[in-house]
Amino acid sequence: MLSDPQDLLIVPESIHPSGFPDLPVGFVDLERESIESTLPTLPPYPLIGIGSVEHPLAARLDAVIGPRDNAQSIAAAVTAQPLAARIVTQLLRMLPQLADDDALTAESLAYAALQGSEAHRGWIAARAHNTSPLPEGRVVLSREDDVLIVMLDRPEAGNAIDRAMRDALHEAFALANADTTIKRVCLRGQGRSFSLGAELSEFGTTTDPARAHAIRSETLPARQAVRCRDRMEAHIDGACIGAGLELAAFAARITATRRSWFQLPELAMGILPGAGGCVSLSRRIGRQRTLSLILSGRRLGAREALAWGLVDSLVDDTA
């Protein structure tokens, strides 16, 4: 009953005697599956339901997409980067069973594997490099009574997080964890974008994936942010992309202006969200919506982010 791969790679829940076929992605039409459907195991690639999340089979799948989602575009994106799609899918299946530190380690190891992949190296080689480097990023800290305000301050680069900003963020959250008089941590961005994500010009500068994993184990801001997340708030205005979104999603409370939007574009680069986002987003909105956001690469508007629980409230400004 397996349809032609061009017909959305539909896989019936009953599969067939030889097991799952080797595909980049499989889709299950939940409207066709009976209420008695079972799924004893999952394939190594993403298995996505099309239909209602209320279907008894839906909870076992890697993601469930509705009529607003474009299954064809997801199929195309996954087919273009099948190894990254497989690895992030398998990672997200593991994370609910892991403690936060172990989950961040698992994410970093999966990211390291993809850093050394042919697909990611090809993306680095193909992209245009900026010949006029922007000023180094910085993080401005201020204190208002028992509140520590952490401000991303690189507006000329859309608050893209470079190495200097990454290290400063790690130190800022470490300070919050060391100082017991700090009762709240507020994360903000200077300018018209909260953050455009990681500084793209730095991709590939550490060529040894094992060394890159070791560096992340010591300096990744998520390692400290996860320890103060119960006291952390994030205020989003404008674009919130990649590493910026991954960090903000650790916050216990997130507010956003109505013009804000959110995106995880890493799959097209042959990698996965590696700044803690597989952990932070799956803890906040669940693994299925997290995977949907990763595989689709689409922009999520402020109202939809609110409906998903990615944002807790919409505000007129970030004051």
In a domain, 87, yes or no: no
Decide: 138 and 169 in contact? Cβ < 8 Å.
no
Taking only the tens of pLDDT, the chain with its 319 residues reads 233 334 555 554 444 434 566 789 999 888 887 655 667 788 999 999 999 999 888 999 999 998 767 888 999 999 999 999 999 999 999 999 999 999 999 999 999 999 999 999 999 999 877 666 788 999 999 999 999 999 999 999 999 999 999 999 999 999 999 999 999 999 999 999 999 999 999 998 898 999 999 999 999 999 999 999 999 999 999 999 999 999 999 999 999 999 999 999 999 999 999 999 999 999 999 999 999 999 999 999 999 999 999 999 999 874 5
In a domain, 300, yes or no: yes
Backbone angles phi, psi at 313, to 5 degrees: -160, 155
The answer on 294 and 257 residing in a single domain is yes
The answer on 131 and 66 residing in a single domain is no
Domain that holds residue 25: 1-80
Q: List the structure tokens of 51.
A: 């239909």
**Residue 70 has what pLDDT?**
82
Residue 293 CB neighbours (<10 A): 25
Question: Distance between CA atoms of 25 and 235, rounded to whole angstroms?
Answer: 36
The answer on 137 and 69 residing in a single domain is no
The answer on 155 and 28 residing in a single domain is no
The answer on 131 and 234 residing in a single domain is yes
pTM of the model: 0.92
The answer on 38 and 117 residing in a single domain is no
The answer on 75 and 34 residing in a single domain is yes
Q: How many domains does the chain have?
A: 2
In a domain, 12, yes or no: yes
Question: What CATH code is carried by the domain that includes residue 181?
Answer: 3.90.226.10
The answer on 3 and 134 residing in a single domain is no
In a domain, 86, yes or no: no
Question: Distance between CA atoms of 289 and 282, rounded to whole angstroms?
Answer: 8
The residues that bridge with 29 in the sheet, in sequence order, are 50
In a domain, 2, yes or no: yes
The answer on 110 and 74 residing in a single domain is no
In a domain, 62, yes or no: yes
In a domain, 85, yes or no: no
The answer on 99 and 72 residing in a single domain is no
The answer on 120 and 59 residing in a single domain is no
**Residue 244 has what pLDDT?**
98
**Residue 168 has what pLDDT?**
98
Domain end call among 29, 55, 80: 80
In a domain, 271, yes or no: yes
Q: Judging by DSSP bridges, how do beta strands 239-241 and 253-257 pair with one another?
A: unpaired
